[in-house]
Chain A
């Protein structure tokens, strides 16, 4: 069990550019979540997948944001036309569905800086 992997760890981009982040969950986990965390705040829920189906999206996820989880394995989060307000830590987490609850497993996040 290698945990939840996120790539890249850091990303600096110019305003208006598109960025894509990748999350590799724990292999036997069928649930995957994306969160965003700004400085001094707790993480905020963005979206949730069960297998390949995206079952819930937060209002925080504007039209510029899109998330996918093809084949129910890894997931990508794309931000189009980045804005300075998108600067944050983007966290991915996974969990199994049918086992006794053991909590989410979070990755270490991708820190995005929009300049």
Chain B
């Protein structure tokens, strides 16, 4: 399975944009890029996913490099509630058939007031 590499931790200030990087240099052409986050004492929460094109939703934006070897999760205005561990995960498909999520250690995002 293709691996992802994320920084262990990052810090941001409230109301500023946050760019969370993820490297996946061995990604294959059929791998989807997913992002989940886990707030303290909660289960993980789906954030966004994409294949080749950049994606936007109400929570975040996903910027995917042209060669797909890296991606960046963008939180446009960080709030204290965005403090969490963010996981970048590759899967073989988008969810139409059987798949499972393989989590790494993720990036611990701290948001300063």
- Partner-B contacts on A (CB < 8 A): 4, 33, 40-45, 48, 50, 55-56, 91, 93, 95, 97-98, 101-109
The 6 closest A-B pairs by CB, nearest first: A103-B46, A42-B103, A106-B43, A101-B95, A101-B94, A45-B100
What are the residues of chain B within 8 A of A104 when measuring CB–CB?
36, 44, 46, 101
Complex-state Cα separation, A98 to B98, whole angstroms: 11
Interface Cβ pair total, 8 Å cutoff: 57
In the assembled complex, 14 residue pairs joining A and B whose CB atoms fall closer than 8 Å, in A order, are A42-B87, A48-B98, A56-B98, A56-B100, A93-B43, A95-B95, A103-B34, A103-B36, A106-B43, A106-B45, A108-B41, A108-B42, A108-B43, A109-B43
Give the chain A neighbours of B17 by CB distance below 8 A: none
Contact among B42, B43, B49, B105 for A40, CB-based, below 8 A: B105
Interface residues of B in 35-65 (CB under 8 A from A): 36, 41-47, 49
Residues of B within 8 A of A40 (CB): 105
- Closest Cβ–Cβ distance, residue B60 to chain A (whole Å): 12
Minimum Cβ distance to chain A for residue B35 (Å): 9
